[in-house]
Amino acid sequence: MFRPVRKIRLGIVVASMIYVALLAGCGSSQNESAPSSASPSPASASASAVPSASESTASADPSDEGATRIVKTALGDVEIPAHPKRVVAGYYHGTLLALDFPVVGASKEWWMGSPFLKEREQSIEDIGSPPSLEKVLALDPDLIVIYDSNFEDYEALSKIAPTVYVPYDSTMGIREEVRLFAELFGREAEADAWFAKYEQEASKARERLKDIIGPDTTATLIHPNGQELAVLGDNFGRGGEAMYHAIGLKANERVQREVIDSGVQYQDISLELLPEYTDADIVFLCSWDGTTEEELKRVVDSGVWRQLPAVRDNRVIVLDYQTFFYFDPISVLGQIGALADELERHFAERS
């Protein structure tokens, strides 16, 4: 399974860029001439510029098929339909689905396959990785959304349909991503509905776990990945969002400082350093699905692993990779309940 590019915590820089871009968008005149169809070359564009929406002719009425809106991106202003009917996603298809976009094409190899998206993905065509221009063209999209790995295909894709490039590091978490996409595409009501559902699922999980999880209960997420061993943060899939934000588990001091606050999110470590990162009440183990039994045994049969307090006290919970790998908004909602199930089951068996 492809391991995604690590999100970089851009902090104040990103926040400032968003603010400036929004001011520029809101201050633009509605009488400006339409943006040029010529787009800057991807090679000359800034790969970290955060896109934003500006004033447009957008209409709240979905039946107004002629309505458009302008999205400002690192590759220039893009005029898109306000109410697209056929969307192709080189990435972000889960976020687009969460906001009720009609997604007709996406990359199966990398990002389709979440058990929480199974029904919705049945009608989505695989465009390949990298995307096949022929397949995209055949789908007759009226909007295409891409990220960094599709960067070099931008010009070709933009000739098929309006193409919006959203850099992978535009946001620092799935909640920010939902807000950004809602703002870009005029889906604020759909975003509000998702946030309401998120809080509902989080509240239910916290109530179920109130006798298991306290306000200071700590957890570490360990990821055996082939020959590598890593500690994961709150924004790299594998249940991190549900674990640290929805349910409210805390990272230990070293993980918080070196993996989460630093923005690294995926920290390779040696087996010998495991005790320093797993000094926590609960250790979650989510192994890459390509990790062999022999590679996994190298970790769990080691003397270092066996001497970990969480191992000796039976406080290690193994998470199913397929269930917890994905970190789109819909999968995250499902993972909140799934993680609560795992915690309840494990601690019931311990008692």
pLDDT in tens, 203-249: 999 999 999 999 999 999 998 887 789 999 988 888 999 999 999 99
Residue 62 is predicted with a pLDDT of 58
Residue 37 is predicted with a pLDDT of 34
Please state, rounded to an integer, the average pLDDT across all residues of the chain.
83
Q: DSSP label at 311?
A: H
49 and 167 Cβ atoms separated by less than 8 Å:
yes
Judging by DSSP bridges, how do beta strands 52-53 and 68-73 pair with one another? antiparallel
**Coil, strand or helix at 232:** strand
In the chain, what percentage of residues exceed pLDDT 90? 64
Question: 343 falls in which pLDDT band (50, 70, 90)?
Answer: very high
Q: How far apart are CA 305 and CA 328, in angstroms?
A: 32
Domains in the chain: boundaries: 11-186, 206-350
Give per-residue pLDDT as tens, 266-281: 999 999 999 999 999 9
Question: 2 falls in which pLDDT band (50, 70, 90)?
Answer: very low
Give per-residue pLDDT as tens, 109-124: 767 889 999 999 999 9
Q: Comparing 143 with 225, which gets the higher pLDDT?
A: 143
Residue 351 is predicted with a pLDDT of 63
Q: Does the pLDDT of residue 8 top 80, yes or no?
A: no
Residue 165 is predicted with a pLDDT of 94
Q: Comparing 294 with 106, which gets the higher pLDDT?
A: 106
Give per-residue pLDDT as tens, 35-60: 333 344 444 454 446 666 554 445 45
315 and 285 Cβ atoms separated by less than 8 Å:
no
**Residue 157 one-letter amino acid:** L
Question: 27 falls in which pLDDT band (50, 70, 90)?
Answer: very low
Q: Does the pLDDT of residue 137 top 90, yes or no?
A: yes
Residue 253 is predicted with a pLDDT of 93
The H-assigned helical ranges of the chain are: 11-27, 93-98, 108-111, 118-121, 133-138, 154-158, 174-185, 188-208, 240-241, 253-255, 274-277, 293-300, 303-306, 309-312, 321-324, 329-350
CATH homologous superfamily of 206-350 equals Nitrogenase molybdenum iron protein domain (3.40.50.1980)
Do 11-186 and 206-350 agree at the fold level? yes
Reported CATH class of domain 11-186: alpha beta
Residue 54 is predicted with a pLDDT of 56
Q: Does the pLDDT of residue 189 top 90, yes or no?
A: yes
Q: Does the pLDDT of residue 61 top 60, yes or no?
A: no
